[in-house]
A and B are shown apart, each in its own frame.
Chain A
Amino acid sequence: MTVDQASSPAVGRPHPTAKAGRPRSAATRTGPSMTTRKHRAFYMFASPWIIGFSLLTIAPMAYALWLSFTTYDGISPHWHYVGLGNYRELMGDSVTWDALGRAGLFALLSVPLSIIAGLALAVLVNRPMKGRGLFRTLLYLPAVVPPVGAGIAFKNLFDQNSGAANGVLTFFGFDAIGWLADPYARYVLVMTVLWAAGNIMIISLAGLQDVPRELHEAARIDGASAWRTFRSITVPLLSPVLLFQTVTGVIASVQTIMPMLLAPMAGTGGLTTIPQSNYTYMIHVFSEYFALGRYGYASALLWVLFVLILIATGLIFRFTSGVVFYNVGPEAQK
């Protein structure tokens, strides 16, 4: 990335005002030097983000960290400091570990599947053909549908009695399935993610269009098969995009609230109606906050999740560092 290219005045062509501003001794001008003015201006421009990030991200996280050392429940004034008590309880809480396992399984299923689906769609609609713009738009459309719309759509699609999924099953002589209950609910959850694979399609498509045409032509002349070309040229060149999708996919899947939207009863009051197989870690956090009012314990859960996500992200980057191919030729410097 070229962070400073456009912003450092002294690089490239020298300019009278830029020059005059550089040495401190150039005090012929009134007021602070150009450089100081520029520094101050930068902080003036960055301040909304710096202040907002401090107050609305760092402060709440610090507050949650403090709460995680207490027994605060939001109402009672008789809370007290318990040190690492909540974390100790968490270590021995099988509900927490099961919920974490379910979140992990969900990420393990939904992230690779949606990346494969998105990549496959991208390759399909990247071919020169009539109407591909229309196909791209239609395939991407579900990714624009807000979670509430997706949740209600899938609830109706997989309804035990009136859903199309069971309609197809019974049409072929199979028994109807309670899709939204245990143990099938988790597959419906994964399917809601796959439905939005158009997201990954669009991002991969942008990457595919950056793949130099000559590479494909050279491969074809050498007699490489389509699959071979895909595996040896397309995938390596797309690997930074795929890595990015993996990381954001894992983070998104861990914090999804879709189980709440697929539950028989909506809202924080319906948390107890979520089937066991969709009781993920994030849902566990919500239950501890809103169904049980255990703010301290729930905050400890949040911090553990935060640290686990950092570790997972670090591991993903580490394990892919040898595999991901960054094209840093002059072309990529644009």
Chain B
Amino acid sequence: MTATSVNPKSPARTRIRVNRLVLYTALVVITGLFLGPFGWLILTGLKAPAELAAAPVHWLPTHFEWHNFVDAYQAVDFLGYARNSLIIATIYATLVTLSSAWVGFGFARLTAPGKKVLFGILIGSMMLPQMITLLPTYLIFAKFGMVDTYWPWVLWGLSSAPYLVFLFRQFFAGLPRELEEAAIVDGCGYGGIFWRIFLPQSWPVLSASFVIAFTWTWGDYIAPQLLLSTDHSTLAVAVMTTYVSAAGTPNTNLQAAASVMYVVPILLIFLVAQRGFVAGMSTSGLK
């Protein structure tokens, strides 16, 4: 690094360089701490069971057991669980993106008596503790025989999510008014205006919303744990509960390897879709 070379002629510049060196060192250390838990998870997934039991901690595996990842994949129906996760997350993300765009359009471009009150309730409902509503919702779904089906995610998807509605509302409210005026003169209904004029303009928000909703569902543990039987459950539940030996002891290294394979797709999606993700987060946090 050039920051270490000191220029004796200008003390001010030296101070800036030292400051910068301190800043970089601090950032590298902090970033290391933040990545540490995930790094340790990967290392655990690469160790043999005997090594995990060894008395002084083995920092690095003596032999990198790459086959742990294959074993974790084969020990349980990993692909089946991943497929369930993929199906549920896709169903929910597609439906909730469309329904939230639909509702968001209404709040952004139309008026009616009671709209302000409804908008207040919508914003307030973002703060509702979801866990509190989930438990009685589970009891109701159980009553209607929807346990162990994908219906709960279809219904949740159709009813839109306040957070995403808000995201779409902000986007649609910023589009010029001429967009729908011309269409109204042409005799186009609001449904048509939404579908043919607004939706094609909103690819950035649509994809951001899809990614956000997909990662929610992929990451959700408690709803599939309650609503789906073990065989039909998602990868989140399987990774948490199925890596146990016949004797009932946890297969720590296989579970670690499996959880790496479970988390990495989400990290990749995030890295690819970073901008929309972060833009969405910031909007929701500020308003």
What is A's interface to B at a CB cutoff of 8 Å?
1-9, 15, 17, 37-46, 48-53, 55-57, 59-61, 63-64, 67, 74, 121, 124-125, 127, 129, 135, 137-142, 144-154, 156-157, 159, 161-164, 166-167, 170, 195, 198-199, 202-203, 205-207, 210, 240-241, 244-245, 247-248, 251, 254-255, 257, 261, 266-268, 282, 285-286, 289, 295, 298-299, 302, 305-306, 309, 313
Let me know if A202 and B132 touch, CB within 8 A.
no
Let me know if B127 and A313 touch, CB within 8 A.
yes
Q: List 7 A-B contacts (CB under 8 A).
A: A6-B177, A42-B111, A45-B190, A121-B30, A141-B38, A157-B37, A164-B59
What is B's interface to A at a CB cutoff of 8 Å?
20, 23-24, 26-27, 30-31, 34-38, 40-41, 44, 47, 51-59, 99, 102-103, 105-113, 115-116, 118-119, 121-122, 125, 127-133, 135-137, 139-140, 155-156, 158-160, 162, 165, 172-175, 177, 181, 184-185, 189-191, 194, 215, 218-222, 225-226, 236-237, 239-241, 252, 255-256, 259, 262-263, 266-267, 270-271, 274, 278, 281-282, 285-287
Chain A residues with CB under 8 Å of B55's CB are 161
Given the contacts A48-B102, A61-B133, A302-B136, A206 and B112 also touching, CB distance less than 8 Å = no
* Chain A contact residues, majority secondary structure: helix
Let me know if B37 and A199 touch, CB within 8 A.
no
Query: CB within 8 A of A3: which of B119, B125, B160?
Result: B119
A5 to B140, CA, bound (A): 40
Chain B residues with CB under 8 Å of A306's CB are 129, 132
A66 to B105, CA, bound (A): 36
Q: How far is the CB of B66 from chain A (nearest CB, A)?
A: 18
* 5 interchain residue pairs of minimum CB distance: A52-B159, A45-B106, A146-B219, A167-B57, A203-B285
Let me know if A45 and B194 touch, CB within 8 A.
yes
Query: CB within 8 A of A46: which of B103, B225, B274?
Result: B103
Let me know if B219 and A49 touch, CB within 8 A.
no
A37 to B190, CA, bound (A): 9
Given the contacts A59-B140, A203-B286, A267 and B241 also touching, CB distance less than 8 Å = yes
Chain B residues with CB under 8 Å of A7's CB are 108-111, 173
Residue of B nearest to A191 (CB): B37
Chain B residues with CB under 8 Å of A2's CB are 173
A74 to B53, CA, bound (A): 43
Instruction: Apart from A44-B190, A248-B127, list 18 A-B contacts with CB within 8 A.
Output: A17-B181, A42-B111, A44-B191, A48-B159, A52-B160, A53-B159, A61-B133, A63-B136, A64-B135, A139-B30, A142-B38, A146-B266, A148-B240, A149-B266, A152-B255, A161-B53, A302-B135, A306-B129
**Which of B57, B111, B136, B181 counts the most A-chain CB atoms under 10 A from its CB?**
B136
